[in-house]
Structure 1
Amino acid sequence: MKKTKALILSLLLLVCFGGAQAKDYNASLFGIKSNGTTMNTTAIQKAIDYIHEQGGGRLVFYVGRYLTGSIELKSNVTIHLNEGAVLLGSTNPYDYRQIPGTWLGLILANKAENIGVTGRGVIDGQGRETSYNYIDQIQKGVIKDELKYDRPASRPTLIFLRECKNVEINNVTWKNSAFWVQIYDQCENLNIDRITVDSKAFWNNDGIDIVDCNGVKLTNSFFDATDDAICLKSHDPKSICQNIEVSNCVARSSASGIKFGTASRGGFRNIKMTNIKVYDTYRSAIAIQAVDGGLVENITIDSLHSYNTANVIFLRIGERYEGEKAKLNNVTISNVYAEVPAGKPDAGYEYEGPVEDLPRNISPASITGLPGQYVTNVTLKNITIVYPGGGNPNYAKVGTDAKSLNAIPEMPKAYPEFSQFKELPAWGFYIRHAKGITFDNVTLTAEKPDYRPAIVLDDVHGGDLENVTINDPDKKKNEIVVFQSTDIKK
């Protein structure tokens, strides 16, 4: 009997709590105006605080344009934007603030639980005008900030959540951030579904940054950004970004489509990405980087389609922090079809990637560690990459003789990009300082003759390249060059 009463009481409490959680509050109840000109920051914050104090619920915005500066989400509160509702970021730099643990941002939260941003509405940061206003105040000496490449360091994101748990982000369109669009830093149980990111307002518009989070699902979403579209980062050497699932997403970027890093202090572990499409992307479709001393392991990429992307696969170990040795281990990439263009893949977009590291011919995909610091256990299965070919030795040349291969710089401290080495001696794959490399049903095609061989292995130990098909108009006899390597099957 006592157990039955306890169960009934528990159910009643659950129903009461659930009801509080589910309660909707109309934004107009708090005097929030939808005319696009009234500054609503104080009213929206009052609404969030009130709903939080009442036990939780949704702050619902209907059709209209709601101008605001920084607002802070509190536990058990969800912002819900119905179709036609636009949360409009102020263009005044002084309307933005930080809360402990975050950067400047429109929507902020720290250590909040059971929060969300949902609905079919839009969050528009008006980032280009906001950035120009920051630059104006910096040039006048009012705001003290580094202005590098005419880009202020202090610009607001659209959302920055720090150490939050049980977060739901769905359906919303995120537009025109002044800086990175979304930052989720050391969050747990984060679910992001069916969002659209259209952020080409200014430089450094990462589509999404998942930083040292544990337990993330990112599904059914679209990203078009001037900087890395889907980006995993690790800022804290004592943390790690882990247990992440990304599926059914489309990405376009004037940097990389999918990127692990550049910041990789703690590292990345147990990451699975499936059914990803990347197009018109200036740098890499997939870039996995361990350059800041972190651990990167157990990474699975399955079903990648990449069109008009300058590079397909870039795996890199670096050492940007003296003495901090990174590890990159156990990576499987399978079921890939990719086409690499001869020209600039993001030509015509408002903020194109910079023309850099010239002269060079088209770069190959690459797996590069450092001497004594090997990339280990990489499997590439069912991979088809079509290259334009056309490498011209009269433009820039690196041969496959010992002197030429040894002259390729290691560049451990360089900012990692597939183009950092400038000219490389292969047109398909360049693999250096690696162990346990398996190519299973890999097809590489050059559409035009290229003076370089398809694959170059340098300091590679334990490699199975028997199941590789190379289509090269030149039909060179030695399409796989092996140098300073052991136990290679080809």
Structure 2
Amino acid sequence: MFQQNFFRIIIIFFTLNVLFVSCATKKDKSEVSDVDWSKMYQIINNVKEPVFKNKVYLVTDFGAVADGSFDNTLVFKKAIQSCSQNGGGIVSVPFGKYFTGPIHLEDNVNFHLEDGAEVLFSTNPKDYPIVHTSFEGMELMNYSPLIYAYNKKNVAVTGKGVLNGQANETNWWPWKGSTSEGSFYGFKEGQPSQKDKLNLPALMDMAQTDVPVEKRVFGEGHYLRPNFFEPFGCTNVLIKDVKIINAPFWVLHPMKSTNVIVDGVTVQSHGPNNDGCDPEYSKNVIIKNCIFNTGDDCIAIKAGRDNEGRKVGIKSENIVVQKCKMIDGHGGVVIGSEMSAGVQNVFVEDCKMDSPNLDRVIRIKSNSRRGGTVDGVYVRNIEVGQVKEAVLKVNMFYAIYGDQTGNFIPKVKNIFLENITVKNGGKYGVWAKGYESDPIENIILKDVIIEKVENKYLLENVKNIQFINTKINGTLVESPNN
């Protein structure tokens, strides 16, 4: 009897132990799919629009002329400085076309374009002074951005007007030196470009070998295009309602900035590297109610390139994207490829994406020279019409500048997609390739419906990918063994 009871106790013990382990395993897996969206609301509640004095400085009172040819550069500068020196307010640009060089914002200034106002920026590089700026994840001394704020507080660009960079195939764009993208952007073989060894390659070498920024002097003769709007090292930044067209390079580039709101902005620019919005080394950034129709990524979250990114070490984090529309672009919401300092807490919701020229919905890209960690990309309530290549693409072997291999294996984990509907999914539902030594971890698709896609997924070195109530081409997808 004793022996019988002993064996019963042993059996009960092992049964309970198996059940406990099983439940714990299930809990561990499900924890990834239980996203705490309260973090997003916390970010939103903590980021407030800057407030400006209700005092208006009309640029026409300072001598501005709206004939499309008079150079208003000094007029705008005088109005902005007068506004800031008197405690701030609104520098207002009335109806009409205003030609200008770069616009430099000062503390507590809202540069406001009234309905029907259009600012036409010079395409003459000589009109742009050399300032501390950034190019593709590397700091340098280069042409001023078209609109620039350096270490300022409470700055804004608002209104229903148009900011026109006037870039095209005859200026700025040919500097890319495009020879293999299908569009040459006006470049012809033999012309100088950023690819020449004393230009972008030289900057890459300087960044990799820690040459001080003040000695990285480029500008004339080096063909590195300026960003359009760059708040550099700023706090409390707002860009609202304006339309931006024909940019030389990246369009909106919050750099080392905190508390940034991009609201109701339309970006329509199909030049090379015409990313719509690129927060870099930036924290607490809200991008909402915007339309992106671009020649590159619609939104691309950055965090520095290679050695320099690791040295700066400022993550881009707490990025919220809401109620935006993505049309043409290499990706709807993208992280990388310059992401060496890391990206954390990206929230995307209630967006619409649709175009035969939209390549991916969500994209993460890096390589073993770049490295970096991406932790936490949370996406929900997305309507996709047509996308060309993939709904989700995670590429840890991205390279466009020759050999991009090194000893810095990128880390990507915790990607969550929920309530996504895709009418035409292109080639892949999910395309994800990681490293055997450090696989991509925790990809969850929950309540996702993808139609008209060629392949459910292509996976290499992915640990814990789950398809929860997810249908591809009308069939419920089982989670692969991983």
Q: TM-score range by the shorter chain?
A: 0.7 to 0.9
Q: Higher mean Cα deviation, 46-55 or 374-383?
A: 46-55
**1:383 counterpart = 2:448:** yes
Write out aligned runs for 1:81-480 (5 A).
81-102=113-134, 104=143, 105-128=145-168, 129-131=170-172, 145-146=194-195, 153-200=223-270, 202-235=271-304, 236-237=309-310, 238-280=313-355, 281-291=357-367, 292-310=370-388, 311-318=390-397, 320=404, 322-340=406-424, 362-389=427-454, 427-445=455-473, 469=476
AA partner of residue 172 (structure 2): S
After superposition, the C-alpha distances for 1:375-429 in whole angstroms (9 at most, x for unaligned) are: 112211011111254xxxxxxxxxxxxxxxxxxxxxxxxxxxxxxxxxxxxx111
Aligned CA RMSD, in angstroms, stands at 2.9
Measured in 2, the distance between the counterparts of 1:23 and 1:234 equals: 37
Could you tell me whether the CA contact under 8 Å between 1:138 and 1:145 is conserved in 2?
no
Find the counterpart in structure 1 of residue 96 from structure 2. Answer: 64
- The structure with higher relative contact order (CA 8 Å, sep 6+) is 2
Could you tell me whether the CA contact under 8 Å between 1:207 and 1:223 is conserved in 2?
yes
Q: Could you say which structure has the higher strand fraction? A: 1
Measure how far apart 1:101 and its partner are. 3.2
Write out aligned runs for 1:30-45 (5 A).
30-45=62-77
AA partner of residue 437 (structure 2): G
Measured in 2, the distance between the counterparts of 1:19 and 1:305 equals: 34
Measured in 2, the distance between the counterparts of 1:363 and 1:130 equals: 37
Measure how far apart 1:19 and its partner are. 9.9
2:228 partner SS: strand
Measured in 2, the distance between the counterparts of 1:20 and 1:251 equals: 31
Measured in 2, the distance between the counterparts of 1:84 and 1:387 equals: 43
Q: Can you give the 5+ residue segments of structure 2 that lack an aligned partner in the other structure?
A: 1-49, 135-141, 178-185, 201-221, 399-403
Could you tell me whether the CA contact under 8 Å between 1:162 and 1:185 is conserved in 2?
yes
Measure how far apart 1:134 and its partner are. 6.2
| Residues 62 and 264 of structure 1, relative CA distance in 2, 3 Å threshold | same
Measured in 2, the distance between the counterparts of 1:273 and 1:383 equals: 15
Measured in 2, the distance between the counterparts of 1:23 and 1:254 equals: 39
Find the counterpart in structure 2 of residue 78 from structure 1. Answer: 110
After superposition, the C-alpha distances for 1:69-117 in whole angstroms (9 at most, x for unaligned) are: 1121111111000100111111222212342235532101111110000
1:439 partner SS: strand
Could you tell me whether the CA contact under 8 Å between 1:379 and 1:437 is conserved in 2?
yes
Matched length:
378
Measured in 2, the distance between the counterparts of 1:283 and 1:138 equals: 24
Measured in 1, the distance between the counterparts of 2:375 and 2:174 equals: 43
Q: Could you say which structure has the higher helix fraction? A: 2
Measured in 1, the distance between the counterparts of 2:341 and 2:445 equals: 25
Measure how far apart 1:32 and its partner are. 1.4
Measured in 2, the distance between the counterparts of 1:166 and 1:30 equals: 27
After superposition, the C-alpha distances for 1:340-365 in whole angstroms (9 at most, x for unaligned) are: 366xxxxxxxxxxxxxxxxxxx4452
AA partner of residue 464 (structure 2): G
AA partner of residue 326 (structure 1): P
Measure how far apart 1:225 and its partner are. 0.6
Q: Percent identity?
A: 27
Could you tell me whether the CA contact under 8 Å between 2:175 and 2:193 is conserved in 1?
no
Measured in 2, the distance between the counterparts of 1:227 and 1:31 equals: 38
Q: Can you give the 5+ residue segments of structure 1 that lack an aligned partner in the other structure?
A: 1-17, 343-361, 390-426, 447-467, 471-478
Measured in 2, the distance between the counterparts of 1:134 and 1:433 equals: 38
Could you tell me whether the CA contact under 8 Å between 2:176 and 2:193 is conserved in 1?
no
Measure how far apart 1:254 and its partner are. 3.7
TM-score (structure 2 length as normaliser): 0.72
After superposition, the C-alpha distances for 1:321-347 in whole angstroms (9 at most, x for unaligned) are: 5111221111111111113366xxxxx
Find the counterpart in structure 1 of residue 28 from structure 2. Answer: none
1:21 partner SS: coil
TM-score (structure 1 length as normaliser): 0.71
